[in-house]
């Protein structure tokens, strides 16, 4: 992806001192992170390190115990009802697994938000869905199929078409390439870049897939034990000088990140 032009100004998302525990399990322990306007930031980290919890806090699906999450400079922690909806209107999401509605044809999946939240009439919504499907390389005939009739890669494309349908300012990608072969992963990464660029959107993603990170990230942040322990431009990830990042990007079992494994 090309480097982003706007490094200054108000961050699109500004996270400060974010804490979240579930019972006695402290997951986020003071996350500080900025996502700049129109940049693509990817959060990496091991399984269970809190990536999904972090993204859910930003989305308002989980209430943090402490801390601040500003979107365009506006505090969003604690927003409810219409105020929360107004912020949600800026967001598009591509969930792990696609999260398509099995009972609806593809075009209705793509047009769902347009019809239900924006009140767009069915014919216009269908035309918009067809345009969005074309943007991810799918013909209008795919719109008439049901999700179960599609391959995993096509489902991801449909989920991407749905994520961009309402022209969000910020798009969240949760493991966008999980379960795809390397070639289809590359197609999806490329589509993500094109969609984010053509919308002029800001992207916040989480993934384990380093090939995907290298394709879609302007900047990378690594989360470990509930804090951001390294962040920097993607061009610097191979010379981070950080042992945790080194271990993660090379996938070594040995290193400072220890997986608790009990003997058999």
Ligand X SMILES: Nc1ncnc2c1ncn2[C@@H]1O[C@H](COP(=O)(O)OP(=O)(O)OP(=O)(O)O)[C@@H](O)[C@H]1O
Which residues sit at the interface with ligand X, rule CB under 6 A? 22, 25, 27, 45, 47-53
Say if CB 240 and CB 232 are below 8 A apart.
yes
Closest contact distance (angstroms) between CB of 127 and ligand X is 36
Burial group, residue 2, by CB count within 10 angstroms (0-12, 13-18, 19+): exposed
Closest to ligand X by CB, 67 or 137: 67
Smallest distance from ligand X to CB 138, Å: 28
Shortest approach of ligand X to residue 99 CB, angstroms? 15
For β-strands 91-94 and 170-174, DSSP reports them as: parallel
Q: 183 or 253: whose CB is closer to ligand X? A: 253
Q: Whole-angstrom Cα distance, residue 117 to residue 245?
A: 41
Nearer to ligand X, 51 or 126 (CB): 51
| Residue 244 contacts residue 257 (beta carbons within 8 Å) | yes
Of the two residues 114 and 223, which places its CB atom closer to ligand X in the complex? 223
- DSSP reduced 3-state for 203: strand
Please identify, using beta-carbon distances, which residue of 50 and 105 lies nearer to ligand X.
Answer: 50
The answer to whether 4 touches 36, Cβ cutoff 8 Å, is: yes
Q: Which is nearer to ligand X, 147 or 226 (CB)?
A: 226
**CB of 43: closest distance to ligand X in angstroms?**
9
- Whether 205 and 177 have beta carbons less than 8 Å apart is answered as no
Write the CB contacts of 224 (distance below 8 Å, at least 6 apart in sequence). 45, 46, 49, 244, 257
Q: Whole-number minimum distance, CB 50 to ligand X, in Å?
A: 4
Structure tokens at 238: 């191979």
**CB 195, min distance to ligand X, A:** 23
């Amino acid at each position: 992806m090309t480097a982003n032009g706007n490094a200054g100004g108000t961050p699109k998302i500004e996270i400060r001192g974010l804490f979240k525990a579930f019972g006695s399990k402290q997951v986020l322990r003071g996350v500080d992170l900025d996502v700049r306007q129109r940049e693509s930031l990817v959060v990496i980290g091991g399984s269970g390190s809190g990536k999904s919890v972090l993204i859910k806090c930003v989305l308002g699906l989980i209430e943090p115990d402490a801390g601040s999450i500003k979107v365009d400079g506006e505090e969003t922690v604690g927003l409810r009802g219409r105020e929360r909806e107004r912020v949600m209107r800026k967001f598009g999401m591509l969930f792990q697994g696609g999260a398509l509605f099995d009972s609806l044809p593809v075009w209705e999946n793509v047009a769902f938000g347009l019809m239900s939240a924006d009140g767009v009439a069915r014919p216009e919504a269908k035309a918009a869905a067809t345009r969005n499907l074309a943007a991810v390389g799918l013909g209008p005939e795919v719109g008439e199929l049901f999700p179960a009739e599609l391959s995993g890669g096509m489902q991801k494309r449909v989920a991407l078409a749905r994520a961009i349908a309402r022209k969000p300012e910020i798009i969240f990608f949760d493991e966008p390439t999980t379960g795809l072969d390397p070639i289809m992963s590359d197609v999806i990464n490329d589509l993500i870049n094109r969609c984010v660029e053509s919308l002029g959107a800001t992207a916040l993603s989480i993934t384990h897939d380093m090939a995907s990170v290298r394709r879609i990230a302007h900047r990378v942040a690594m989360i470990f034990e509930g804090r951001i322990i390294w962040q920097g431009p993607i061009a610097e990830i191979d010379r981070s000088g950080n042992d945790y990042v080194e271990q993660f990007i090379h996938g070594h079992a040995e290193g400072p990140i220890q997986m608790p494994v009990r003997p058999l």
